[in-house]
Amino acid sequence: GIQVEQSPPDLILQEGANSTLRCNFSDSVNNLQWFHQNPWGQLINLFYIPSGTKQNGRLSATTVATERYSLLYISSSQTTDSGVYFCAVGRSNYQLIWGAGTKLIIKP
Amino acid sequence: EAQVTQNPRYLITVTGKKLTVTCSQNMNHEYMSWYRQDPGLGLRQIYYSMNVEVTDKGDVPEGYKVSRKEKRNFPLILESPSPNQTSLYFCASSPLGYGTDTQYFGPGTRLTVL
């Protein structure tokens, strides 16, 4: 099956810093999504981005499907950005394979 | 308010005692799914349902059952729970599968099987 690797596993930054999270996947996919899980466990969609670039406020994501990776950029980090960021990929609209996540801690 | 609700939020039980975790959504979504989350492994899909009476296995279906008799409800049944089913469980729904649709997640159910 498809393997999903996220890096780094942990990241600690000061408020205001920028960060880049990476997601590598082992096979071609037609579905790639980024999620955020806050420290209280709530999961939220960030991006649906099987290819190309998208931006939403301070967050942006880029997927290079031909090279099998995606990047999530967070600019001017805030403490509310803390949590775990997951990348999930799939070949269908009904199943996603999730990475292990990147745990981000933003210190005030 | 659009939401996915799960009950109970926390449950401690013993091996072999049947239990059901309920999931309900009020958005008239066709697609619903159950995941388990274990440390260091991300989320793994247990079962999903594309519509009423249509369900299919995810990556880790062993030891679980589901049913979709109504569009809004998608209960997860553990007929004979075992300690390796101790985990954090999430229910999710979306209008029509993953695609470009936003998925809405429930708050999670933390299950401990002794």
State the Cα torsion A11-A87-A48-B111 to the nearest 10°: -110
Q: How would residue A103 be classed by pLDDT, with cut points 50, 70 and 90?
A: very high
How confident is the model at residue B97, as a pLDDT?
65
3-state secondary structure of A93: coil
E strand spans, B3-108: 4-7, 10-13, 19-25, 31-38, 42-51, 54-57, 65-66, 76-78, 87-94, 104-105
CA of A76, closest CA in chain B: separation in Å?
Answer: 25
The per-residue DSSP string of A10-59 comes to EEEEETT--EEEEEEESS--SEEEEEEE-TT--EEEEEE-SSEEEEETTE
Q: Which of A31, A33, A95 sits opposite B58 (nearest CB)?
A: A95
* pLDDT, tens digit, 9 for 90 and up, residues A1-60: 899 999 999 999 999 999 999 999 999 998 899 999 999 999 999 999 999 999 999 999
Say if A31 is an interface residue toward chain B (CB within 8 Å).
yes
* pLDDT, tens digit, 9 for 90 and up, residues A71-98: 999 999 999 999 999 999 987 767 889 9
Say if A33 is an interface residue toward chain B (CB within 8 Å).
yes
With beta carbons less than 8 A apart as the criterion, state whether B72 and B54 touch: no
- Continuous segment of H or E residues that includes residue A5: strand A4-7
3-state secondary structure of A100: coil
Distance, in Å, from the CA atom of A28 to the CA atom of B44, rounded to the nearest integer, reads 20
Question: Do A31 and B45 count as a contact with CB atoms less than 8 A apart?
Answer: no
